[in-house]
Amino acid sequence: MKCISETQCFGGKQRVFRHSSRATTSEMELAIYFPPASALRPVPAVFFLSGLTCTWANFSEKAGAQRYAAELGLMLVMPDTSPRGLQLPGEEDEWDFGSGASFYVNAQQMPWLDNYQMFDYVTDELPRLISSEFMIEGERFGIMGHSMGGHGALIAALRRPDVFQSCSAFSPISAPSQVPWGQKAFRGYLGDDPAKWREYDACELVAGTAFDSQILVDQGQSDPFLEEQLQPHRLQRAFERAGRSLNLRLQPGYDHSYHFVATFVGEHLSHHAKLF
């Protein structure tokens, strides 16, 4: 990995890296925050997956998470939301599909098949890369995300409990198979077979998962996407049916923005720190 920028932040270092990805067969960028403790000893790492239209910069620059990560001794790993600049047909045509909108799946349809393997990138390639390049305590990872990234965090933890020990989400797309954003993305990346969609739907995955830590989800009650696109009640019912632990907190007055994320990000990082 090549470091392309670095700045001091809460006693640690906020860096941006570029590397060649096997999973996406492209150059990928990601931001990593190194807390002060990482200069002295191995530390646990928490991945943050961002939402539609975002890059690594949104969470890195808007959430204020570094302050809490510094106090808790957590590394923050913030990948991009998709490959970039591939010049694929339709790549830049729509804000909720293509560039910036991978939905963290392994695409099975052309022209996305060769590059949009983001589930493998996030759950396999990136943990291996971070472990090989930096000192990670016990190779322990947590994962969290916002909106589309909240969906990504949920499916990553539920499908790969061997990699991720903790999980949380802000305003996740809880049941992508049942809502317009998810249906559009799944049809484009995965095709028309509902069985393939279920492989990337947290509500469908929870019954068969070995992930046994409580998952924390915060959802703003004034979120304009709450009823049509996010539907956390479906997630709550799925967890209850599966006998799995979900702490779903509905926050009055909060919307879908990073003001909401910044308000509760400290509690989310504390949630992860307690599970390491």
Q: What are the CA-CA distances from residue 43 to residues 2, 82, 134, 142, 272 (Å)?
A: 21, 27, 9, 12, 13
Catalytic-role residue among 223, 268, 271, 272: 223
Catalytic-role residue among 146, 151, 256, 271: 256
Which residues on adjacent β-strands are paired with residue 14? 7, 33
Task: Report the sign of the C-alpha dihedral through residues 234, 235, 236, 242, in that order.
Answer: positive
How far apart, in whole angstroms, are the C-alpha atoms of residue 24 and residue 159?
A: 20
What residues contact residue 219 under an 8 Å CB cut-off, 6+ apart?
Answer: 170, 171, 226, 230, 232, 248, 249, 250, 251
Q: Is 256 known to be catalytic?
A: yes
Contact 143, 210 (CB under 8 A): no
Catalytic-role residue among 50, 102, 147, 171: 147
The C-alpha R_g of the chain, in whole angstroms, comes to 17
Neighbours of 261 (CB within 10 A): 28
Q: What are the CA-CA distances from residue 9 to residues 37, 59, 156 (Å)?
A: 13, 14, 29
Q: Is 147 known to be catalytic?
A: yes
The SS3 of residue 249 is strand
Contact 175, 225 (CB under 8 A): no
For residue 139, which of 77, 200, 57 has the smallest C-alpha distance? Answer: 77
DSSP of 132-154: HHS-EEEEEEEEEEETHHHHHHH
List the catalytic residues.
147, 223, 256
